Structure 1
Amino acid sequence: MGRDLRVEHPGTVYHVIQRGNNREFIFDKYDDKAFLLDKIRFYKQRVGFTLFGYVIMGNHYHLIIQMHHSPLQKVMQMLNNCYSKYYNSVRKRTGHVFGGRYKAIPVQEDRYMLTLLRYVHQNPIRANICKHPWEYYWSSDNAYRRSINDLVDVDIMLNFLSPNRRKAVEKYVQFMSLEESDDFESLDLIGDESYALAVKPKREVLQRKRLDEILIETGLTLEEFNLVKSGSRKRSLTSCKETYAKEALKNGYTLKEIAGNISLTDVAIHKLLQKERHSVSTDNFAD
């Protein structure tokens, strides 16, 4: 029986993970990683896609990628087939190089783009290869630190952090230095099969501010931002949550979307807004 077709939509951002067959180290040499990176560049120029980040490890690689016209499946098939031929030729072997189909997890509403980028860049740290992301050559971390908009399209994420490029890079460096909470380790539980089920973005939705952008504009520090995103119930963060929820509603988001972005339930957001309205109503009669 053939495999189910993946459902893909242009404009969707995907976190792609591809592992070696039986998790074997298929990128254990400098030339292996260099070959794969060169082919990523080649197909980016040939097909056209936005690359937000990447890391090439010894037995797998990660891409944060957004397709525009060609389907992701086509690009991944060309990339993996090209590398498989190279690998088998150099090693004088035959057989599978990659372990099944790649995982492709749609990034909904750009909620976790920064956290996902940090997760990708901190892979070498979790593998005890280095102590800092910038020490690992085979990732896009240094492209962000140096503001190099070439293979990786760093402008989008850096502009999200700040319109001032120097401040944006400083914020990026600060965010990358935070300890990884390993929220995305659960991706390994999805299995080898993955299906992109993202709904095709509507024109009006694309023009909305991102939820994380609305959250940052409340004046949170990066530490507070991460606390709110993790669902912290500190009272000192309540005011910012209220402001965030009201602005998100104005931008057309549902209570479920607003709540999910900060690890709460839609009921909790509803109560938060009701409490704020009650407070305003009480203040109007205080005189």
Structure 2
Amino acid sequence: MPRAARKVSSTGIYHIMIRGINRNAIFYDEEDKNKFLDIFEKTKGETKFELYAYCLMGNHAHFLLKENEISISVIMKKICGIYGGWFNHRHHRVGHLFQDRFKSECVETQTYYITVLKYILNNPVKCNVVEEAEDYKWSSYREYIEKNSITDTAFFLNMLDTNQKKAKKYFIEELKKQDKGIVYLTASNIRRADIEAEKIIYDDMKKLGIESIGEITIEQRIVLIKSLKAKGLTNRQIMSITGLPKSKVIGI
């Protein structure tokens, strides 16, 4: 079956997520993360996209960016291809590093832009890696309150205030606000946004003691999927985020 066409954002802005195959690590240490950011920055200079937020975790990474002349598909294919080859060579491994193609969500309103930016920068807190977003080294949080490097911070800071000192103060306050899960309502069902679905899956796997989807037992899979569906996740979201095939998800 052919892949569904990627949705095109009317603003050119997307929330992008990449994940390791079978939820395995894509960054083993700081050298890996530094190399990825070097490749990312070089590609940014070549393709002229705008980066509003990023966060590198152990087995996945999030980005909020805007494409200009070059499409996000070309941009991400180049970044992931170069990094994947370098990573495999360095760690003496073969095969795919990333799970399927990258995931993307259109960001077409200011409200959703702010929600996604906050979600990305608070990801280390939600995953219990640090207590405060400002304590995490591998995100663009510090670029907003100190000096920007590869992140185009002016776009969001100017939303908050034209006075940069005030804007940075408001930024810190905004990041600490607790957003409720984003839920889209339709006439027949409740569907959670993908960024919320990812957090729910991560939390449920942790509660069930599941370290990797590749090692999940039949009993764990059934319990996990039933729990996720009860919380409003769709079959598409479960398959897309976990990598489980259709035959293992449908019908449970």
Alignment TM-score, normalising by the size of structure 1: 0.63
Partner of 1:172: 171
Given that 1:21 and 1:97 are in contact with CA atoms closer than 8 Å, whether structure 2 keeps it comes out as yes
Partner of 1:124: 124
Partner of 1:200: none
Given that 2:25 and 2:58 are in contact with CA atoms closer than 8 Å, whether structure 1 keeps it comes out as yes
Whether 1:186 aligns to 2:197 is: yes
Partner of 1:29: 29
Equivalent positions of 1:212-227 (< 5 A) are none
- Matches of 1:46 and 1:10, distance apart in 2: 23
Q: Which runs of 5+ in 1 are unaligned?
A: 194-287
Give the letter aligned to residue 113 of structure 2: M
Per-residue Cα deviation, 1:202-241 (whole angstroms, up to 9, x for no partner): xxxxxxxxxxxxxxxxxxxxxxxxxxxxxxxxxxxxxxxx
Q: Shift in Å at residue 25 of structure 1? A: 1.2
Equivalent positions of 1:94-113 (< 5 A) are 94-113=94-113
Q: Shift in Å at residue 2 of structure 1? A: 4.3
- Matches of 2:64 and 2:3, distance apart in 1: 24
Given that 2:157 and 2:171 are in contact with CA atoms closer than 8 Å, whether structure 1 keeps it comes out as yes
- Matches of 1:92 and 1:150, distance apart in 2: 31
Q: Shift in Å at residue 4 of structure 1? A: 3.9
Q: Shift in Å at residue 7 of structure 1? A: 4.6
3-state SS in 2 of match to 1:70: coil
Query: How many residues are treated as equivalent by the alignment?
Result: 192
Per-residue Cα deviation, 1:32-84 (whole angstroms, up to 9, x for no partner): 11111111101000110110000000000000010011111001101111111
Given that 1:8 and 1:71 are in contact with CA atoms closer than 8 Å, whether structure 2 keeps it comes out as no
Whether 1:68 aligns to 2:79 is: no
**C-alpha RMSD of the superposition:** 1.8
3-state SS in 2 of match to 1:108: coil
Given that 2:7 and 2:106 are in contact with CA atoms closer than 8 Å, whether structure 1 keeps it comes out as no
| Superposed structure 1 runs of 4+ greater than 6 Å apart | none
Whether 1:40 aligns to 2:88 is: no
Given that 1:17 and 1:60 are in contact with CA atoms closer than 8 Å, whether structure 2 keeps it comes out as yes
- CA separation of 1:10 and 1:82: change in aligned 2, threshold 3 A: farther
Given that 1:125 and 1:131 are in contact with CA atoms closer than 8 Å, whether structure 2 keeps it comes out as yes
Q: Shift in Å at residue 149 of structure 1? A: 3.8
- CA separation of 1:7 and 1:106: change in aligned 2, threshold 3 A: closer
3-state SS in 2 of match to 1:28: coil
Partner of 1:15: 15
- Matches of 1:2 and 1:113, distance apart in 2: 30
3-state SS in 2 of match to 1:131: coil
Equivalent positions of 1:44-63 (< 5 A) are 44-63=44-63
Give the letter aligned to residue 35 of structure 2: F
